[in-house]
Amino acid sequence: WAGRRLTMYLKPYLRKYPNGSWLGSHCDSEGEDDYGPLPGSSFDSDYSKCPMLIEYAANIYLNDNYEGGELIFNNLRHSLKPKAGQLILFPSGIEYKHEVSQITDGDRYSVVAFLTTEKLAILHSKITEVSNNL
């Protein structure tokens, strides 16, 4: 990540996982099917905030007084139970496909933010410009 200047992609927001909820396996920036990743599948020239522009996800965990709710990175075969006050920052591509296991007691709270680079935002605008002129 050295040398990359990150900028806010979407404003941070509060994410609540109530008791019984979970988040299925996904990556934040690109799609996937049974054959593997689909780079560019989330590109949308009409939407300046399309998921393809997400380069990093940042999660700040606000509490840890719940059961379940582990953050699981599928491809890395790694999971962790975030602690209150912990920041977890990771790339948003298919290599960091992840999920949140079911909350079995209590509610899980975090603040989520997505980051990008100016270079990727410029690339999106140039591709959009070209596609609109076809």
Q: Is 45 helix (H, G, I), strand (E, B) or coil?
A: coil
Six-digit token string for 88: 């977890």
- Give alpha helix (H) positions in the chain: 118-132
State the sign of the Cα–Cα–Cα–Cα dihedral 6, 8, 12, 18. Answer: negative
Determine which one of 4, 5, 15, 108 is catalytic: 108
77 as an active site residue: the answer is: no
Q: Give catalytic residues, as residue numbers.
A: 108
